[in-house]
Amino acid sequence: MPSTDLLNEAGRIMTICNACRYCEGFCAVYPAMELRRTFSEQDLKYLANLCHNCRGCYYACQYAPPHEFAVNIPKTFSELRLELYPNFTWPGFLAGMFRRNGLLVAMITTLSVAVVVLLAFIFRGPAVVFATHIGENAFYKVVPYLFMVIPFSALALYILATLLIGGARFWRDTGGKLGELVDPHANARAIWDALRLKYLDGGGHGCNYPDDRFSMIRRWFHHLVFYGFMLCLAATTLAAIYDHLLLRGAPYPFYSWPVMLGTVGGLALLVGTGGLLYLKWQMDTVPATARVFGMDVGFLLLLFLTSLTGLLLLILRGTPAMGTLLTVHLGVVGGLFITMPYGKFVHAVYRYLALIRNAIEQSREKT
């Protein structure tokens, strides 16, 4: 449970905001707030996840600290989200992963890399790992086919299950009914909002990120991360189809769909995560909380390393470095998969659900 103090603080500042309403033009949070006069725990959980952390409202706020009202929506909502994530986490005993998340993500990833590399050395030996392998099934000479397919498929299914359960818990905790969740109109609008990152546009001029100036830069970097991730996902799925249905063993030539999609996606991820990390380095820390820093940076670094090792593997797959790079890449991907339900990635699920709720509320308001 989020601490009572934090919920009270969120309720206190929302009450101030609701009497002011100057920030109505920035994002979806304020029009949603205006549908209410008082703020229940359910409302606050929903509003905190609807907030995209664009920070326009902080710099525009006449009550921001050092004013005695000390209204700081981005910071408060960000803290609330961090305290809420463990609440929705399945299985419950892993909820503690959200504490010191950056450190844990780093340790798990390091461990994952070490295990894959070690297994390759033990079962294949340095002679195989450091040899040059080219042509069909070259990858499987270093890491056997089943070792790639079984753990990662199992992990993918596990991730899907945890995210579904987490999403269901969020929906229930914010007072939603299951039927509403499949409302086609609400989903269409939420998808449209999410695909454009509508609420990182700060009312049309961009976020106040990394500082008080309006800028679209964060939105563009986030787009690169999102679409880069999607392209990599598509590349992987396509590769699986090639391998299992068309029975063509990896690696594939550069001008094949899996490699082209993966290359573009990987480059986008590299630039996007690198850019977001750079902005985070530059950012004004007053409207932020240090408590989420490790989680945010951990996830961005992990995505950055995933794309970096993947791209290096592509470039150097015809050399003796391929074996090492392949094992390291698989190890990093392993770390990414294992920590996915217990880190920053989950924001995508809860934000999307909050957007659905917002779409439902606003269309109800109009009729």
Partner 1 sequence: MPDIEPIITDVLVVGGGNAALCAAMTAREAGARVLVLESAPKDFRGGNSRHTRNIRYMHHRGNDCLTGPYLEDEFWDDLLQVTGGQTNAQLARLTICESADLGQWMTAHGCHFQPPLRGTLHLARTNAHFLGGGKALMNAYYATASKLGVEIMYGADVRDFEMRDGKFDAAIFEFEDASRKVRAKSVVVASGGFQANLSWLKQCWGEAADNFLIRGSPYDKGRPLRVLLDHGAKPVGDSRQCHAVAIDARAPKFDGGIVTRLDCVSFGIVVNKHVRRFYDEGEDFWPKRYAIWGRLVAQQPHQIGFAIIDSKSMGLFMPSVFPPIEANTIRELAAKLELDPAALETVVTAFNKSVQPGTFDPSILDDCATKELEPPKSHWARPLDTPPFYGYPLRPGITFTYLGITINEKAQVIMQDNRVAPNIFAAGEIMAGNILGQGYLAGFGMTIGTVFGRIAGKEAARFAIDGPAE
User: Contact residues for partner 1 (CB under 8 A)?
Assistant: 15-16, 18-26, 34, 37, 56-57, 59-64, 66-69, 203-205, 212-214
Residue 316 CB contacts under 8 Å (≥ 6 apart), including other chains: 322, 325
Nearer to partner 1 by C-beta: 91 or 204? 204
CB of 42 to partner 1, least distance (A): 18
CB of 38 to partner 1, least distance (A): 8
Nearer to partner 1 by C-beta: 61 or 268? 61
Prior bond of 341 cis (ω within 30°): no
CB of 57 to partner 1, least distance (A): 7
Nearer to partner 1 by C-beta: 35 or 149? 35
CB of 203 to partner 1, least distance (A): 5
Q: Distance (Å, rounded) from C-alpha 160 to C-alpha 340? A: 10
Structure-block tokens of residue 135: 């042509």
CB of 34 to partner 1, least distance (A): 6
CB of 36 to partner 1, least distance (A): 9
Nearer to partner 1 by C-beta: 16 or 267? 16
Q: What type of residue is 260?
A: M
178 touches 171 (CB < 8 A): yes
Q: Distance (Å, rounded) from C-alpha 269 to C-alpha 303? A: 7
Nearer to partner 1 by C-beta: 69 or 130? 69
Q: Distance (Å, rounded) from C-alpha 207 to C-alpha 214? A: 5
- 3-state SS assignment for residue 38: coil
Where do runs of H (alpha helix) occur along the chain? 4-20, 29-33, 41-50, 56-60, 73-88, 101-129, 138-142, 145-173, 178-181, 184-196, 217-244, 257-282, 293-315, 322-339, 347-366
Nearer to partner 1 by C-beta: 127 or 367? 367
CB of 2 to partner 1, least distance (A): 22
Nearer to partner 1 by C-beta: 188 or 286? 286
